[in-house]
Structure 1
Amino acid sequence: MPSVKSTSIKYLLMLLSLLFGIGPGKAAYADTVKASIIELSEIAIYPSRSAFASVITLNNSKLSAEVPAKIKSITAEVGQVVNKGDILIQLDSTDYNLALQQASANLIAAQSNLELSKKQLERAEKLVSDGFISSERLNLRETEFTNAKSDAALRRAQYNVAKRNVAKCSIKAPFKSVIRERIGQVGEITTPGSPLLHLSDLSTVEIDAKIQPRDIESLTLSSVIIFTSSGIDFPVTIKRIVPVVNEENRNQTVRLKFIKSQPSIGSAGTITWTTDQPHAPTDLIVQRNDQLGVFIFEQEKAKFFVLSNALEGSPAAINLPADTLVIYQGQHRLQDGEFVSTASD
């Protein structure tokens, strides 16, 4: 005959079964954990990233004279935009023009001498074949022609140098640029190599940004990147990524270019982009066995999915199908492989 104690325990278990709905068909799930599930597409986020950046130019040049001369005029002013080939500074070319005239005269004389030597050589070749002069006389004419030819080449080189020196007295803009500083003054004698004008190239404007290595992938995958300076947005695109991590601040240099309009050279701001890859929200991520990840719902069980690139306190990229069922409530008390009872059960 069963004891009073065993009979009481039996009735207590029956009462608990009635209260919590644990019938014979659900006895195997008596140890399940209540949790809520949702499709990844409904809870995933696409976080924005930002980084400091500045507008630079590849050519930030200081023009100087190539020849010593007095500055005759300066047509460029600070802030002025000039085109490639525009004359910015005119040097006094009087002495160089005189040197050019002299070189020209010397060249004409050398060319005339060369023509004469050529005719004399041709005549000597005919006379030696007829036996009127000796071969030694022919050799002399050949030597005279060779010397005249060399002298003409020398005079032409001297003429070209003199011509270039005259051209160097007109200092031109090497590219479309803006004048940033005027250093030389009218009346000064230039020294080759001493800067006269400071100008910035307007055709090679880029954005220089410093990006954390972990953000490089999301930046390359982003379809929209915006540079913001002084409250104005400018759409930009990646030009190149330097594949080297800076040893001092552990970041990577990224160069970007403007799609349409652009701010002034030297402007500072930030680049902002939104990743196109789904990310798990911070409150969805849990830690198990020193690894960060999320719990997904598969075959009535919780499965721990490791997020290899996750950082504590930050959303993490998640590479799962959009219809994956993710546990978003109750995940903090779950263990991998544990049975889960959903809120709808």
Structure 2
Amino acid sequence: MRAPFLILLVFLLAGCGGKDEAADETAADSSALPVSLAPAQQQAMARTVLVSGPVTAYEEMQLGVEISGQRVTALPVDVGQWVKKGQVLLQLDHRTLDSELAQADASLRQAQASQELARMNYERSAKLAAQQLISASSLDELRANRINAEAQTATARAARDAAKLRRDFADLRAPADGLISKRLVQPGQVVSAGTELLRLIRDGRLEWRAELPENQLADVAVGNTIELRYAGQVVTGSIRAVTPGVDAQTRTGTLYADLPTPGPLKPGVYVEGRIVTGDGQALTIPTAAIVQRDGHNYVFTVTDKQQASRHRVSTGQAVQGRTAILEGLKAGDQVVVEGAGFLGEGDRVRVVTTPKASDAKAAAQ
């Protein structure tokens, strides 16, 4: 009777041990974090370069006057005003200049009268000389008087033109159509020649400039499209010029992109631009699968033992919820998407299937 009893005891103990192991496995499964997986796959993606730069005026003209010691009497424009070519932007006190111009006009008329008299005297004398009624020396003297009168008229005309030019300098006119961007003078102020008084953005034209390292500068070319995000809008432009070389100190080059006019961008705004350099293929994963820690990007995969394994990756551009992976993964690798932000190296996980959108909507209802 002892032998059957021992056998029965062994079976009972074995049964208890199996229940404990099953309970341990159930507890382990319940403690594992549920995650979903998605494969890394190749897809068509435009090649882009991200860089930041300022918006500046394509051509900003510094305007001033060419005479000194005159007081500003009128300033009919202000900052932000659109002006036309030839429009008066500023007027100086021109009373003295008007007086000088009037004096120069009078001197010119006097010289013209003397020239006309000298001409008539010479013509009459030439007829008399043909009849040998006056000497040749007298005719030569009259000819010299005529030439001298013509020279005096030319001198007076040049003086009149100079006086008129100085009078015109009293009115500062717009050299081109454009937008007044700065005003550095006030009415009543006495100004000097060469001093900047106003600034004009020619044709209101703006451009975007960016500094690129030499490895990225080789990827961009004239005609590439740029996209600038500002104030909730996307402004599209195109690259007009790229520097042919790089700076020896900074190892960077500059690109210049034309912007639409008018537009929401303002001079001095610093914005990030996306430069589309062409079409290509890229290895992509869902952006939600990327975890940033310690200043680096990581993704998690699941081992055969249902444990999380962390991998450092190098990322590229992100488009429509997917991010390009430059290094760290290969096509077909399964990465953790949902739950990736809560994982650590070696954590136990339980792979679940992400419900379809229709199932999730039905469940929500």
1:257 is matched by which residue type in structure 2? Answer: D
**CA contact 2:283–2:331 (8 Å) conserved in 1:** no
The alpha-carbon deviation at position 313 of structure 1 amounts to 5.1
Give the counterpart letter for 1:195 in structure 2: E
- Counterpart code for 1:170: D
Cα gap change, 1:261 to 1:192, in 2 (>3 Å): closer
Tell me the distance in 2 between the aligned counterparts of 1:153 and 1:140.
20
Q: Provide the TM-score with structure 1 as the length reference.
A: 0.64
- CA distance 1:221–1:129, change in 2 (3 Å): closer
**How many residues align structurally?**
251
Q: 1:43 to 1:195 in 2, by over 3 A?
A: closer
Query: Aligned to 2:140, what secondary structure does the other structure show?
Result: helix
Counterparts in 2 of 1:274 and 1:206: CA distance versus 1, 3 Å:
closer
Question: Are the aligned partners of 2:222 and 2:240 in contact in 1 as well (CA < 8 Å)?
Answer: no
Superposition map of 1:254-333 within 5 A: 254-259=255-260, 261-262=262-263, 263-279=265-281, 281=283
Gaps of 5+ in 1: 1-40, 284-311, 316-326, 331-345
Q: 1:240 to 1:164 in 2, by over 3 A?
A: same
| Bigger Cα displacement from structure 2, 104-113 vs 256-265 | 256-265
Cα deviation 1:12-66 (Å, max 9, x = unaligned):
xxxxxxxxxxxxxxxxxxxxxxxxxxxxx95565432111122212433332221
CA contact (8 A) 1:282 1:313 kept: no
TM alignment of 1:11-30, pairs within 5 A: none
Amino acid at match of 2:159: Q
Aligned-pair CA distance for 1:117: 1.4
Aligned mates of 2:67, 2:130 — CA distance in 1? 54
User: Aligned pair 1:59/2:51, yes or no?
Assistant: no
**RMSD value, Cα:** 2.9
Equivalent in the alignment of 2:92: 91
State the partner residue of 1:338: none
Give the aligned residue type for 1:264. K
The residue number in structure 1 matching 2:160 is: 159
Relative distance call for 1:281 and 1:251 in structure 2 (3 A) is farther
Q: What does the per-residue CA deviation read over 1:241-283, in whole Å, with 9 as the maximum and x for residues that have no partner?
A: 2212122221111111124543112222122123324256499
1:193 and 2:194 matched: yes
Quick one: distance in 1 between partners of 2:145 and 2:79? 58
TM-score, normalised with respect to structure 2: 0.61
For residues 55 and 61 of structure 1, the distance between their equivalents in structure 2, rounded to whole angstroms, comes to: 16
- Match of residue 101 from structure 1: 102
Distance 1:264 1:81, change over 3 A: same
Q: Deviations over 1:273-313 (max 9, x none)?
A: 23324256499xxxxxxxxxxxxxxxxxxxxxxxxxxxx95
How many angstroms apart in 2 are the aligned matches of 1:229 and 1:84?
31
CA distances 1:125-171 after superposition (whole Å, capped 9, x unpaired): 22222211222112211211111111111111111111122221111
Counterpart of 1:54 in 2: which secondary structure? strand
**Which consecutive residues of structure 2, in runs of 5 or more, have no partner in the other structure?**
1-40, 286-312, 317-329, 334-365
